[in-house]
Amino acid sequence: MSSTSGTDKYDKKERFIYKDDDAIEKPFNWAQVGRLFVYMKPYKRQLIPAIFMMIIGTLTRLATPALVILAIDEAIQPAEGAASLPKLYLYAGLMLLLYVVQWAANSYRIKYTNIIGQKVIYDLRHDLFKHIQKLSFRFFDKRPAGSVLVRITNDVNALQDLFTNGVVNLLMDCVQLLGIVVILLVWNFKLGLAIMVTVPLMFIVSTALRKRIRFAWQDVRMKQSRINAHLNESIQGMKVTQAYVQEKDNMRFFDYMNTVNVKSWNKASALNQAFGPVIEITSALGTFILFWYGAHLIQQGAITIGLLVGFANYIGNFWDPINRLGQMYSQLLIAMASSERIFEFIDEEPTVSEKGAAKALPNIRGDVVFDNIIFEYEKGRQALKGISLEAKAGQSIALVGHTGSGKSTIINLLCRFYDPVSGSVRIDGKDIRDVTIESLRSQVGIVMQDTFIFSGTIRDNIRYGRLGASDADIVEAAKAVHAHDFIMNLPDGYDTEVEERGNILSMGQRQLLSFARALLANPRILILDEATASIDTDTELKIQEALKALLAGRTSFMIAHRLSTIRNADEIIVLDHGRIVEQGKHETLIAKKGIYNGLIEAQYRFLSA
């Protein structure tokens, strides 16, 4: 499909809004640079030889033109006496030696800097991921998964270059530049100064141009990241797109974004190309001054031909570091933005944190008390408005109520994914804020509505409940929840590979797998968010049987959707707008003819019939 045809409809108008992840460039910030360099500290053993090799490499590069001067002035055309072939061989031999040393030093430098770069990036990514895993639900509520992903991948990658080459190259260029300036001025002050007249000129022109180039590339990156965001969303929503036959419209929108990206790239690339001539013109000007003024000095007998040739060599090496230092500065500004975003995550404190004096929760019986809980996700909007309830060990509690009434919130607080604004949740009489999070969550099992299946085998997925479980334990758990039969019917039984998110499994099968996983974990308290999807009667019966096995002897909180589950519960809690409005057994509540009765009549009439 032609890309231009797709742009007509979306010109200046975007169907989806993609928020750009902050500015790409940030001002230079020393404190942040210092923080980044802390990551290099453990690799002193590699950094020191890398810098040493860099110094050797630079010194040998600086020494080579000096040998050219000596070869011309002392061997080819000496001021006094005849040309000397042995001397020429000597200088040529020394030059060869310097090249070999330079090559070896550079090879080792690159080897060490690569190691440092890889290790630093590994550590940074490790710290970031470790920290993100600790962050509370509130953090993830505010951020789409995509933006978190971008920080671990793109932003960390953006720093890779800085750590691999940037730091050592920066030092190398500074040393080389300084070395050349000193050599030129010491060797012949007047000629050296004359050549360097062009430097400020080049500096002014290149700074202005480079700024425009930087912004142009930033624009390209922004456009590319929008394409990525759109691609990510499109692939995830592909089923909806196909179901609503929106492929053509999607394609047009994608073409529009693609075209905008190409235009932005062309602009940046054209500006980039303009940079080459600026360097060439200034370096040509420098060379012109060298030969014009140099010839003048030769005529006066102030310098030799060898010195002129040597100087020409030095200024050949002069522009490269200047050019690279400019690039390095742009790279640093980009790295500033990336590191700021990375540190913003690393500095984020989990809102649910452990007290210093938190002790491990001993093996629990399973008595749960919610004591006058008030909770809000956003300030001023209470999701729970004074909830008090009690579950004795082994009791099953069904939570029912309209959508948004607060069922999931109660469960979130029991697992301590959030802390209440006031009131407390106690297990066996202990406030859950006084115990370690790990000891709490490891004794509370959750079966989610949308069972998360990881890519791997069926066996691995069940084992996720208890990593140390034996194969026999896994089969036993699967049998107890009636999952064994369907697993054995899969092509490779327990070794069947399931794709990410378990697409090859039916909804009911996924439920049974998650029951087996929870049973294996053997928690004293079980939370069940029952799937709403209707399933065939046979599976429904299996699930009811499985539930019986799963709930036996445990305290359970169920967001129940099936009438059979609700009926069997020891206590039904009816929620409405964050309050408990009714509470009791099924028959009692039905007889009350209140909210519960209305809910059941509206939603479950067809099932109870």
Ligand X SMILES: Nc1ncnc2c1ncn2[C@@H]1O[C@H](COP(=O)(O)OP(=O)(O)OP(=O)(O)O)[C@@H](O)[C@H]1O
Binding site for ligand X (CB under 6 A): 141, 377-378, 383, 401, 403-409
Question: Which residues have a Cβ under 8 Å from the Cβ of 254 and sit 6 or more positions away?
Answer: 6, 227, 230, 234
Closest distance of CB 137 from ligand X, Å? 7
Helix (H) or strand (E) holding 115: helix 85-134
CB atoms within 10 A of CB 76: 16
Considering the complex, state which of residue 463 and residue 561 has its C-beta at the smaller distance from ligand X.
Answer: 561
* Spatial contact of 159 and 335, defined as CB atoms under 8 Å apart: yes
Q: Least distance from C-beta 367 to ligand X, angstroms?
A: 23
Q: Between residues 166 and 401, which has the closer beta carbon with respect to ligand X? A: 401
Encode burial over 525-550: b for 16+ CB neighbours within 10 A, e otherwise: bbbbbbbeeebeeebeebbeebbeeb
With tokens 């100087």, the residue in question is: 311
Residue 9's Cβ-side half-sphere holds a number of Cα atoms within 13 Å equal to 12
Distance between CA atoms of residues 591 and 308, nearest Å: 108
Q: Residue 409 CB, nearest distance to ligand X (Å)?
A: 3
- Cβ nearer to ligand X, comparing 382 with 522: 382
Q: How far is the CB of 399 from ligand X (least distance, A)?
A: 8
Of residues 376 and 460, the one with the C-beta less far from ligand X = 376
Strand 430-431, strand 497-498: pairing? unpaired
Position 354, amino acid: E
Return the number of the residue (145 or 204) whose C-beta is nearest ligand X: 145
Which amino acid is present at 271?
A: L
Q: In the bound complex, what is the minimum distance in angstroms from residue 405's beta carbon to ligand X?
A: 4
DSSP states of 532-578 as a string? -S---HHHHHHHHHHHHHHHTTSEEEEE--SHHHHHH-SEEEEEETT
> Is the CB of residue 561 less than 8 Å from the CB of residue 447?
no
CB of 403 or CB of 537, closer to ligand X: 403
Shortest distance, CB of residue 385 to ligand X, whole angstroms? Answer: 11
Sheet-wide strand order for 381-391: 381-391, 368-378, 422-427, 430-431
Per the CB < 8 A criterion, the answer to whether 254 and 4 are in contact is: no
DSSP notation for 433-472: GGB-HHHHHTTEEEE-SS----SEEHHHHHHTT-TT--HH
- Cβ at position 411, least distance to ligand X in Å: 8
Nearer to ligand X, 407 or 482 (CB): 407
- β-strand partners of 371: 424
First to last CA, the chain: 55
Return the structure tokens found at 199: 């430097």
Minimum gap (Å) between residue 386 Cβ and ligand X:
14
Give 52 or 377: the residue with its C-beta nearer to ligand X. 377
Query: What does the alpha-carbon distance between residue 555 and residue 525 come to, in Å, rounded to a whole number?
Result: 5
Nearer to ligand X among residue 172 and residue 399 (C-beta): 399
Judged by CB, which is closer to ligand X: 80, or 378?
Answer: 378
- Taking the complex as a whole, the smallest distance from the CB of residue 583 to ligand X amounts, in Å, to 16
Please state the length of the chain: 609
Between 328 and 410, CB nearer to ligand X? 410
d(CA 232, CA 375): 34
Degrees to nearest 5, angle at CA 583 with 579 and 588: 145
Nearer to ligand X, 135 or 289 (CB): 135
- Buried b vs exposed e over 15-53: b needs ≥16 C-beta within 10 Å? eeebeebeebbbeeeeebeeebeebbeebeebbeebbeb
Least Å from the CB of residue 406 to ligand X: 4
* CB of residue 425 to ligand X, shortest distance in Å: 15
Number of helices and strands in the chain (H, E) = 24, 12
**Least distance in Å: CB of 358 to ligand X?**
25
Query: Whose CA is closest to 316, among 292, 290, 295?
Result: 290
3-state helix, strand, coil in the chain (%, to 5): 65, 10, 25
CB 586 within 8 A of CB 594: no
- Minimal distance, residue 453 CB to ligand X, in Å: 21
**Of 382 and 436, CB closest to ligand X:** 382
CA atoms of 88 and 575, how far apart (whole Å): 97
| Beta carbon nearer to ligand X, 32 or 405 | 405
Smallest gap from residue 142 Cβ to ligand X (A):
9
